[in-house]
Structure 1
Amino acid sequence: MKKIAHQILRKPFFGRFEVPWIWPHAISKEGWEAVTIPLTDQQTLVGYWKSAPEAKATLVLAHPMGKAAKAFWLRYGHADLFLKNGYNVLIYDANGFGESEGFTFDYPNDVYHAGIYAQKRTPELSVGLIGASFGAAWGLCSLAKADHPFKIAVLEAAFPTLPEFWKHYPTAHAMLKISNALLPKLNQEFNPLAKSAQVKYQPPILLMYGEKDIYTPPEFGHRLKVALDRVTKVELKIINDADHTYIYRDFPEQYQESVLPFLERHFV
């Protein structure tokens, strides 16, 4: 009964995105290993792992909201970019997306456990987080968890609060207002802006935004930076003419010039 109720509640928010997942056409599967990421004794996430030759660190890639789920990182080349530059890569589906069964709205917990899996897989290496939109916001929240494993984070198009993101989706936004009234404490837990002030262990953070992004405009980045500046080192990069989550797809040189040196500087 609880599972059915959760599935019903998910529909206004994620129903359109929860479709059968397939490996992206024309992307080689060579070297990719299917993995299972444990959350509890009964709950797991589905992912893929690929090791870089002589890896210098490991990156967990938290996907944006969409039908592609973890395939986003394969389709647009992020995974290949990081592998070529000496980083192991873990991609995974948040619960309810792609190949992962849906059972909770606690997406920061998904990011956290993906990080724990990566750290156990390569205990001798530092672990970093790369997130986009949905994955960036919940990744930011995961940095407020005790014992999170992330030494560094690159967060593209993170939103500060749920209502500000969901205002573009009227039905979901209405449902969110009802849930805020009924479960205020729960919604405080899923608030990236509030969690920014609680980030632990001072991981350096790079915030990235596209100037033409209507869903998560650069103003969101400025607000998050103000909160994060109190607890860690933060850089904010705004890319002219870029749309939501497509900085690397449309402006690969600018993405690389921002992200790769940032990783090199802060991974130790």
Structure 2
Amino acid sequence: MTSPTGVLTRPSRRGLPRAARRSPTASTDSALRVFAAATTVGLLHALDDAVLNRQPGVPVDRHLPALLVVTLGAALAMLAFRSGGTGVRAALALVVGSLTVTNGALHVVHVSSGELSGSDVTGVLAAAAGAVLLLMAAALPFLHRGERGLSPWPRWGVRIATVVAVGLCMQFVVLSVCVGIVQTHLFRDQIGAPSPGFGEVTFESSDGLTLSGWYAPSRNRAAVILVNSAGGDRLGSVAHGRLLVEHGYGVLLYDARGSGESEGSPNGYGWDWDHDVDGALDFLTRRSDVDDGRIGALGLSTGADVLLEVASTDRRIGAVVADGATGASLADVLEGDVVSTITMAPVMATVQLLSGTAPGPPLRELAARVSPTPLLFVAAGSLPTEIAMSRVYAQAAHEPVELWTLPDAGHTNAIHDEARAYERRVVDHFDAALLAEGAGR
């Protein structure tokens, strides 16, 4: 355009809204293109993980609701990024990048262990895309300072408020969601050859999944099922199995669904592992070396939580050792622990969405229903709330119940930290319940 004097001038941007002055068009917005591309890679991995390369034995529609929610969230993030200022864009890149890199990193770990299967390829790509988004989140505030038009005090006020808000969001929401992602995307360890004295077995869960494990035949007409911690597979409970085998018990070690060589999707909180324990009980009741009424169960961490649920209704379990019971749902958080309630709520919501399963009743209610089955709680001190939570469950339970606290032992590691005492307590508990005259029927 020309000035009144006839001199050619460049159009002024001072009269334009701030968003118009600082936001490039979509065709020239390189940040938007990078964000959209990285987010799309994350979505492609979600599709691959949920549908194309889903876990064996999982129906095609199991994870479709989660995929729909993730797709909708990604679409909304792209729209917000397109119209948002620098602060909004950096925050979106940080959030989406954190979630994407968390999911993808699990596949990177899996591949680095020498394995490549399922959705690992798209998972590694998702990890790279998430890393790009995190770099973008760090770079955007330096490349585009949206608050430059403000005077110093308001400018620093905006910066501090933004840092605080994003920090709280990351601590109480994003980090918790990442924990939920990890708990539903645990990769499978290679199992290898059976431990000496054990043989390979398979059996079906009560909802039709094929589960794999090892079994050592009984020499005393009694047997014990071992239910492992969040990782799920049999490798975490081999030491406990060997201990019981030495005392003549038949021992069933198996991979929970979604772990090791078993079908199904992983769930670190064990919300549907009750079906696996049902199948294990069916397997043992058909064994000729095991008498009816002489089946016990030992659970570690998540496995302990699951056994409280199963033993509350299934009287085929003649004795329970709950080693490291903590919490299986938001209802199990200690009364008055507001911080844990706030941080665990997004974790539980994420696990429920991604797994397509839901938690059972509170553990204190389940513990109250285990009687007359003998129940031994083993609580170590390495986790801040383990002893307190086990005390709640033991107080809710009815006789016969015993709480054994080990303040100096590690979580589920009492078998090593207090080896002799652990052997005596656990074996005596099973002997009294399963080997006493009249225990079998």
TM-score normalised by structure 1 residue count = 0.80
Residue type at the aligned position of 1:191: P
Match of 1:88 in 2: 250
Match of 1:174 in 2: 346
More off after superposition, 105-114 vs 236-245 = 105-114
Aligned mates of 1:6, 1:98 — CA distance in 2: 26
Residue type at the aligned position of 1:86: G
Structure-2 change in CA distance of 1:39 and 1:22 (3 Å): closer
Within 5 Å, give how 1:32-71 maps onto structure 2.
32-40=198-206, 42-52=208-218, 54-66=219-231, 69-71=233-235
- Alignment of 1:225 onto 2:394: yes
Aligned mates of 1:55, 1:262 — CA distance in 2: 15
Could you tell me which of 15, 20, 24 is aligned with 2:189? 20
Following TM superposition, by how much is the alpha carbon of 1:239 offset from its aligned partner in structure 2, in angstroms?
A: 1.3
CA deviations 1:161-216 (Å, max 9, x no partner) are 42357x88x987514146789xxx943x253222223336x1100000112323x5
Structure-2 change in CA distance of 1:138 and 1:6 (3 Å): farther
Could you tell me which of 211, 235, 241 is aligned with 2:402? 235
Q: What runs of 5+ residues in structure 2 fail to find an aligned partner?
A: 1-59, 71-178, 334-338
Could you tell me which of 373, 383, 386 is aligned with 1:213? 383
Following TM superposition, by how much is the alpha carbon of 1:160 offset from its aligned partner in structure 2, in angstroms?
A: 4.1
Residue type at the aligned position of 1:252: A
Could you tell me which of 244, 250, 263 is aligned with 2:430? 263
Larger % of helix: which? 2
Could you tell me which of 72, 89, 111 is aligned with 2:236? 72
Is residue 116–residue 148 contact of structure 1 (8 Å, CA) maintained in 2? Answer: no
Residue type at the aligned position of 1:117: F
Match of 1:155 in 2: 322
Match of 2:160 in 1: none
RMSD over aligned Cα, in angstroms? 3.2
Is residue 116–residue 149 contact of structure 1 (8 Å, CA) maintained in 2? Answer: no
Aligned mates of 2:223, 2:298 — CA distance in 1: 10
Question: Identity of counterpart residues, as a percentage?
Answer: 23
Larger % of strand: which? 1
Match of 2:282 in 1: 116
Is residue 115–residue 148 contact of structure 1 (8 Å, CA) maintained in 2? Answer: no
Residue type at the aligned position of 2:427: L
Residue type at the aligned position of 1:115: L
The structure with the larger Rg is: 2
Aligned length: 251
* Bigger RCO of structures 1 and 2 (CA < 8 A, at least 6 apart): 1
Structure-2 change in CA distance of 1:212 and 1:20 (3 Å): closer
Aligned mates of 2:285, 2:66 — CA distance in 1: 31
Aligned mates of 1:80, 1:50 — CA distance in 2: 9
SS at match of 1:49: strand
Aligned mates of 1:6, 1:196 — CA distance in 2: 33
Aligned mates of 2:309, 2:220 — CA distance in 1: 27
CA deviations 1:109-158 (Å, max 9, x no partner) are 2122212211222452510001111001001100123x441000111011
More off after superposition, 125-134 vs 38-47 = 38-47
